[in-house]
Structure 1
Amino acid sequence: MAKSKKEKQTQHKKPPLRGMMDNVMEQFNNAADRIQLHPHIRKILSITNNEILVNFPVKMDNGDVEVFTGYRVQHNAALGPYKGGLRYHPTVDLDAARALAMWMTWKCSLAGLPYGGGKGGIKIDPSKFSETELERITRRFTYALADNIGPEHDIPAPDVNTNSQTMAWIADTYMSTRPPAQRTANQHIVTGKPEGSGGLEGRDRATGYGVYLTIIFWADKNDINLKGKKFIVQGFGNVGYWASHFLEKDGAKLVGVQDAFGSIQNEKGINVENLFQYTKTNKGSIVDFPNSQTVDHDDFFALDCDICIPAALGNQITKENAPHIKAKLIAEGANGPTNVDGEKILIDRGITIIPDILCNSGGVIASYFEWLQNRSGEIWHYDEVMEKLEKKLKGNFNKVFVYAVREGVDMRTAAFCIAIERVEKAYVQRGIFP
């Protein structure tokens, strides 16, 4: 029986995250088998270090009190402090946070950063709350987490439905609860802050720019000119917008976009900046953008294109839609957008996937730059940041590409093997207490 339009819209607003832990564990075990990971270290890396759940009350604008549930999962700290975003979304739960925290461990390791993986957030639909309510929710959540995060222990960052303002509230709350002599020394409790509050120039576009750069590196390796190439983007938030912005500047053509409200297409091209400005006046939605046609949700990934950028939530490319994808390249702007069943189909069809832990790592690399800037009291300028980011990402991409070619594996397997081996080396050299 065909699904109604309302059912499809509802399904799209809340993408399934139930299988994310299964996905990351299969990816991990596949790589662990290949590198013959020591069984003791496999046991350690298969589980999280800490899982924090907090329930906290907040007074609403009308005087009512609501109780919210927040999470922070810390997967592994063998390489350094936990690092990872906080998201505000109805799908946030412990299972999703576990998977995302584990992915962050591999992402930080692959990038060569002195971080482990953490993730979390609040189970909430932020569109249902006012700005003042979101500020109180964020500050109360920070207070509840305060003993479990810290600039040398666990450093949150923006994620889905959180931004630089959210980070400013967290930083201010955390610093305000420290002893006076320690307050200014804790500015790097979060990254992704506004520039006026210790943020890094260019941090807002770093993840999307990184997605763009990895596509450029892939194109160079395959002697492909991106001019005139068609791409589609799922999710037109921070990552989707900036990846599209830079691709369009290189001559590529955006032909399809999907967000939580609907899907649009235009074979002749969609102007990225015009669409971005339109969303500002249309409650953040791309729906009914002028000179575009509506696309059924289930048909979006089947649009004719050369490059597909899933930059929304997890488990979007599955065994149901993978057979219909026409893109030759999947650049994972989101975390875990392709589940293992969908990936097997794509690989069998000869479609390349730039895996999330490489493709969208520009954000955490820039976060590392911000963290260093705050710790040393320096100020890094935009051009310097972009140059350092490109150099770091190019080295990481080449490392994964060479490994994949040498070992005859796909890029995700190569990335996981490199990442896990670095963590394994830390355990081998340091030993396991006691």
Structure 2
Amino acid sequence: MITLEKEKLQKTRAKTQATGMVENVLGQFNNAADQIDLNPNIRRILSVTTNEIIIHFPVKLDSGEVAIFKGYRVQHNNALGPYKGGLRYHDTVDVDAAKALAMWMTWKTSLAGLPYGGAKGGIQINPKLYSQSELERITRRFTYALGDNIGPEHDIPAPDVNTNAQTMAWIADTYMSTKSPSERSTYQHVVTGKPVGSGGLEGRDRATGYGVYLCIKLWADANNISLKAKKYSVQGFGNVGNWAAYFMEKDGAVLVGVQDAFASIYSEEGIGVEALFNYANTSGRGIKNFPNTLEINKDDFFSIDCDILIPAALGNQITEDNAERIKASLIAEGANGPINAAGERILLDKGVTIIPDILCNSGGVITSYFEWLQNRNGELWKLDEVIAKLENKLRTSFQNVSRTAEERGIDMRTSAYILAIERIEKAYVQRGIFP
């Protein structure tokens, strides 16, 4: 009974959080739309999703038992091109979470100048409870159930929370197997984030984290600030958090605090990124009990004395309940929607600079676009070429957002939204609305 009650409570909290994320992204959108007096008809279109797909599908587990899983794919808008966005495997995945994340993807791809729209989805599952062979069958069955709701010129999934290159390889293989043998090779770009040996892009693994670091570096350079010896904390030590920390350390910054699902740790002298990464991936309990660090209460994590905070976990982590305690002067959003509206108002009133998610963590979708192009054109891009192209894209976006913020006297998030929305509005104005 205790276990069932705990599970019920967790689901209730997840549902509340997801609903809050939808309210958050719509509030951000409407705030920017008010600033530019967005055409009311276009506002109505962009305020809702185009398609919300919910799939129940059976999978035979290793035990022989058949379990029913629930999968989602929400497609928000495709005015600029095919839907694009990740698939996550997590307990918190539901239609509201997917709606919010799909909307964020629309703004993210538009701001980056990509020929994409926005989508998101995944499976409501705790992947740690299943074997590798079970996860493969779950993934392949989900892909088959999605059918032509995804496609290389229609909707292109990518990795997200608890999914990776292997997941994308299973999806690509399953999807291609449904096509005729003569056509299969032309469908390889149905997903991005694949292993390099299966059509993936060199550098895609580090792209989001590197983009977070690069945005911090661009902000520091613009303000004549050196990152050397600057203290920073990272919430979430998965792919994004780890790579962001790796590049921050390379530039002389000092990691003093880390939080993952298992623990929150602190060290005033600094935490070695590579050592922590190796430990977290072999301990079976994440960063918990990492040597020479102090384990602190999870509710005290945002109170750590640092210059820069990188929230790279899940949404709605920084709220009115903890924003006042944050000491960092810069927050770089590695996650999607890590700050709710009330928390952001507190932070902005304190003079904290926030590099918004649709800019800060866009390195992943930018390099996904590079992989998509690589597959379509039958090319192979080298790592240095990928990084150079990524830097160019991000630098342009960062400069545009900073300039608009300064000219209008607004925060960076509102500036980023304005630029993203205006590009979509232009497409609708030029093309009209059918019929």
**Contact 1:12–1:297 (8 Å) recurs in 2:** no
Amino acid across the alignment from 2:295: T
Q: SS in structure 2 opposite 1:16?
A: helix
Q: Are residues 52 and 13 of structure 1, via their aligned partners in 2, closer, same or farther at CA, if it must alter by over 3 Å?
A: closer
Q: SS in structure 2 opposite 1:350?
A: coil
Residues 90-169 of structure 1 aligned to structure 2 (within 5 Å): 90-169=91-170
Q: SS in structure 2 opposite 1:157?
A: strand
Amino acid across the alignment from 1:129: Y
Q: Are residues 147 and 10 of structure 1, via their aligned partners in 2, closer, same or farther at CA, if it must alter by over 3 Å?
A: closer
Counterpart-to-counterpart distance in 1, 2:119 and 2:11 = 29
Counterpart-to-counterpart distance in 1, 2:285 and 2:194 = 22
CA-CA distance at 1:16 after TM superposition: 3.2
Q: SS in structure 2 opposite 1:19?
A: helix
CA-CA distance at 1:281 after TM superposition: 1.2
Q: Which residue of structure 2 aligns with residue 3 of structure 1?
A: none
CA-CA distance at 1:261 after TM superposition: 1.1
Q: Which residue of structure 2 aligns with residue 347 of structure 1?
A: 348
Counterpart-to-counterpart distance in 2, 1:401 and 1:328 = 17
Give CA deviations for 1:199-248 in whole Å, capped at 9, x if unaligned: 00000000000000000000011110000000000000000000000000
Q: Which residue of structure 2 aligns with residue 407 of structure 1?
A: 408
RMSD, aligned α-carbons = 1.6
CA-CA distance at 1:17 after TM superposition: 3.0
Q: Which residue of structure 1 aligns with residue 3 of structure 2?
A: none
Q: Which residue of structure 1 aligns with residue 185 of structure 2?
A: 184
Q: Which residue of structure 1 aligns with residue 311 of structure 2?
A: 310
Q: Which residue of structure 1 aligns with residue 86 of structure 2?
A: 85
Residues 19-418 of structure 1 aligned to structure 2 (within 5 Å): 19-283=20-284, 285-418=286-419
Q: SS in structure 2 opposite 1:211?
A: helix
Q: SS in structure 2 opposite 1:309?
A: strand
Give CA deviations for 1:129-188 in whole Å, capped at 9, x if unaligned: 000000000000000001200000000000000000000000000001111121000000
Give CA deviations for 1:223-282 in whole Å, capped at 9, x if unaligned: 100000000000000000000000000000000000011100101000000000001211
Amino acid across the alignment from 1:145: L
Q: SS in structure 2 opposite 1:52?
A: strand
Amino acid across the alignment from 1:52: I
Q: SS in structure 2 opposite 1:281?
A: coil
CA-CA distance at 1:12 after TM superposition: 10
Counterpart-to-counterpart distance in 1, 2:34 and 2:14 = 36
CA-CA distance at 1:284 after TM superposition: 5.5
Counterpart-to-counterpart distance in 1, 2:266 and 2:12 = 20
**Contact 1:110–1:396 (8 Å) recurs in 2:** yes
Number of equivalences: 428
**Contact 2:14–2:92 (8 Å) recurs in 1:** no
Q: Are residues 52 and 11 of structure 1, via their aligned partners in 2, closer, same or farther at CA, if it must alter by over 3 Å?
A: closer
**Contact 1:15–1:316 (8 Å) recurs in 2:** no
Give CA deviations for 1:292-348 in whole Å, capped at 9, x if unaligned: 000101110110000000000000000010000000000000000000100000000
Counterpart-to-counterpart distance in 1, 2:175 and 2:378 = 19
**Contact 2:11–2:92 (8 Å) recurs in 1:** no
**Contact 1:332–1:360 (8 Å) recurs in 2:** yes
**Contact 2:58–2:68 (8 Å) recurs in 1:** yes
Q: Are residues 230 and 323 of structure 1, via their aligned partners in 2, closer, same or farther at CA, if it must alter by over 3 Å?
A: same
CA-CA distance at 1:283 after TM superposition: 1.8
Q: Are residues 331 and 14 of structure 1, via their aligned partners in 2, closer, same or farther at CA, if it must alter by over 3 Å?
A: farther
Q: SS in structure 1 opposite 2:182?
A: helix
CA-CA distance at 1:86 after TM superposition: 0.2
Task: Using the aligned pairs only, state the percent identity.
Answer: 70
Q: Are residues 333 and 284 of structure 1, via their aligned partners in 2, closer, same or farther at CA, if it must alter by over 3 Å?
A: farther
5+ long unaligned stretches in structure 2: 1-5
**Contact 1:13–1:261 (8 Å) recurs in 2:** no
Give CA deviations for 1:70-103 in whole Å, capped at 9, x if unaligned: 0000000000000000000000000010000000
Runs of 4+ in 1 over 4 A off after TM superposition: 9-15
Counterpart-to-counterpart distance in 2, 1:326 and 1:183 = 53
**Contact 2:18–2:94 (8 Å) recurs in 1:** no
Give CA deviations for 1:6-56 in whole Å, capped at 9, x if unaligned: 99x999999933300000000000000100000000010000000100000
* TM-score computed with the length of structure 1 as normaliser: 0.97
Counterpart-to-counterpart distance in 2, 1:59 and 1:245 = 40
5+ long unaligned stretches in structure 1: 1-5
Counterpart-to-counterpart distance in 2, 1:283 and 1:14 = 28
Counterpart-to-counterpart distance in 2, 1:273 and 1:263 = 17
